[in-house]
Structures are given as C-alpha cells and as structure tokens.
Chains A and B, each alone.
Chain A
Amino acid sequence: AQSVSQHNHHVILSEAASLELGCNYSYGGTVNLFWYVQYPGQHLQLLLKYFSGDPLVKGIKGFEAEFIKSKFSFNLRKPSVQWSDTAEYFCAVKGLNDMRFGAGTRLTVKP
C-alpha cells in the first residue's frame, strides 16, 4: 500500500527564515500531490496541488512545492516565513485508487 512520509514532526523558525518541509511517498504510478494547511482553530485548506506539467507549483501565500519524480518527493518551500504561517501542514498523495495523508508537520514561527 502506498504511504506518505513527512520527515519533520515539529519545525520552529524565526520570522523571515526560509522554510522547507519534506514529503516523500511510496507509490510508483501516476500521482496527484497536495499540500494542505490547518491554521490554529481552523479547518484544513488546500495550499497547493500538482497534477501534471511544470513540477514547480505555486500556491497561496507565497508557498511553492517541487515534484521530483525520481525522488518520490514533493517538498514544500517558502523563502521567508511569517508569524501567520504558524500552522500544521499535511502532504497528501492520490495514487490509483485512494488518497493518503502524511502525519503532518507542525510549524511554529516565532515573531
């Protein structure tokens, strides 16, 4: 069965620092890839998605992610984080028949 791994459980950064959250998956076929974000007290929201085409995708709030097929990775990046980026981030992968979520990475940005 496919699986999704997020390497970091909790990341703590200062404002203006750069961010990269890792996501790897195990499914070898065609995939759709997603990053979701859950701000404190709010529901899950779609941050960005990759279906096909340019492997570098841009999402809301300055986030981007790069799909590297050879590495089965879809890492999330942001050049300069803000305090308002404090949230839980989930990577999700849709394989042939189902959708799997990673365990999530909690990001804390210190002002």
Chain B
Amino acid sequence: SAVISQKPSRDICQRGTSLTIQCQVDSQVTMMFWYRQQPGQSLTLIATANQGSEATYESGFVIDKFPISRPNLTFSTLTVSNMSPEDSSIYLCSAGTGESYEQYFGPGTRLTVT
C-alpha cells in the first residue's frame, strides 16, 4: 500500500488565477494519476503523470489548462490554470503499481473558484 498526502487540502481562488496542487507518496510508485470529482458526481481521470516525460491527458483535458509535473517517483503537481467557477471541484491524486491499476488515493484538494 501507499500513503498519499496532498497540499493544500482546500483553497478559495479568484477567477483567472492559477493554483498548484502537490501530491506526495511515501514510497516509490509506478503510476500517479490526477482525478477530478465534482459535487455529486463520480471521479473523472484528468491525466496520468509520467515520471520524466509529459503527462498523458484524457479526452477533454489539455496541458495548457492542467499542466502536470512528475520530477520523481514519489511526487507530482497539478496546476489548474486560468481558473473559472466551473473548475470548482475536488482534485484527487492517486498512486499505483503494476498493470493492475490498484490505486491508493490522497485526501483530495477542495477548490472553490469565485
């Protein structure tokens, strides 16, 4: 298993600004992912954070809006750029090993954009 922490836990931001969310894993993991969970809805995968290369984005998500870094096997960041109220959501980081996609989730970052 892996223990995942995220910072910040919550934030209130103004329209047009950017927020960077940090995700730290307590052990080296193969895969790290970023999800969005909007109120009352399921998790939507934003991208897979690849160590040493560009993230792999899901349909509907682009690097300019959600730049991701993963400088090593235990750390990743997600930036929500040029925010609008529609970006208000919970952003979750997860980590996994192997091809099974068994994932461990962080506590989430609750973002409110005003």
Contact = CB atoms under 8 A, between A and B. Distances in A.
A81 B44 CA distance: 29
A49 B105 contact: no
Interface string B100-114: 111111111000000
How many residues of A sit at the interface, in one of the four size bands? 10 to 19
Contact of B92 (A32, A44, A100): A44
B54 interface: no
Interface residues of B, number: 19
Contacts of B58: 98
B53 interface: no
A49 B92 contact: no
B43 A94 contact: no
Interface string B47-78: 00000000000100000000000000000000
B42 A94 contact: no
A98 B42 contact: no
B42 A43 contact: no
A19 interface: no
Interface string A41-63: 01111100101000000000000
A51 B94 CA distance: 19
List of 10 A-B pairs having minimum Cβ-Cβ separation, nearest first = A44-B105, A94-B101, A43-B107, A101-B43, A103-B42, A101-B42, A99-B101, A43-B105, A32-B100, A104-B42
